[in-house]
Copies of this chain bind each other. A is one copy, B any other.
Amino acid sequence: MVKISIIGFGNVAQHLAAAFESNPAAELVQIYSRKPQTAPASFSRKLIHDLGELDYADVYIISVSDDAVAQVAAALRFENRLVVHTAGSLPMDILDAKNRAGVFYPLQTFSRNKAVDFREVPICIEACNATDLKILESIAKSISPKVYAINSNQRRSLHVAAVFASNFANHMYKIGSDICEEHGVPFDILKPLIQETAAKIKTLSPRQAQTGPAIRNDTETIAAHLAWLSDDNQRNIYQLLTQSIQHEREKL
């Protein structure tokens, strides 16, 4: 049984803690939270608020805001243990060299009030040596079948790709919802379309799945939409993304 301690009690940290807590292959030793927190009973006995209180663990998972990772790793009072972070955008070597560095990056969008099924979460792992990679692989596989060894460079490209495919896609939903609201149409009508658009990606490439006026080069509809949009920001986005899709069309 791998002893795991989690350093941080934000969104990702709490989801990880819940996944390991209910996992026979792992023992959740401690959870460090900077500030006192209200936490579920199962966690509250394990919560500590001083990094100096950290007991031995096989793996320490630092899951704090990106800009605090280096500082927290440097503040640890032990050496030569396996210390990993969960940040898609940070290289492995941001971690203080006094410990053995690694990365345990669950590539999923975590919302505070929505449970996550970890079996659907790809976990990207990286370590300095084969033994540590094996340890990370074993705890990753205990919560998800989708485990990938990904180096720091690949992880950076994955993180940027995820900003487009998730954060920016969600912003497209947001603008769709704003337009509905403005015109008194229930946004619910669009929800099946949103689900189907995502579902198509399971079997079609995004290129094959593209529909709409831009890829059809339906210039009349595009002009009508641009004339109809009154919000400058929405119009700028419509224009730039239409051009981008048309550019792709030209490459076909």
Contact = CB atoms under 8 A, between A and B. Distances in A.
**How many chain copies does the complex carry?**
2
- Which of the four size classes fits the interface of chain A? 35 or more
B122 A189 contact: yes
Given A167-B212, A176-B164, A211-B170, A193 B108 contact: yes
Interface string A160-176: 11111111111111111
A152 B226 CA distance: 17
A160 B228 contact: yes
Contacts of A122: 189, 192-193
A190 interface: yes
Interface in A114-170: 114, 116, 120-122, 124, 146, 148, 150, 153-154, 156-170
A162 B174 contact: no
Interface string A182-215: 1111110111111111111111111111111111
A174 B248 contact: yes
A146 B188 CA distance: 10
Interface string A36-63: 0000000000000000000000000000
Given A166-B212, A200-B114, A218-B66, A190 B158 contact: yes
Given A120-B195, A183-B154, A238-B163, A171 B107 contact: no
Interface stretch (A1-9, A16-24, A27-35, A239-247): A239-247
Nearest to A202: B191
18 contacts: A109-B200, A111-B209, A122-B189, A157-B183, A158-B185, A158-B189, A164-B172, A164-B175, A164-B237, A165-B193, A165-B194, A166-B193, A166-B212, A169-B169, A169-B197, A174-B207, A191-B201, A195-B202
Interface of A: 65-67, 89, 107-111, 113-114, 116, 120-122, 124, 146, 148, 150, 153-154, 156-177, 179-180, 182-187, 189-216, 218, 220-221, 224-225, 228-229, 233-234, 236-238, 240-241, 244-245, 247-248
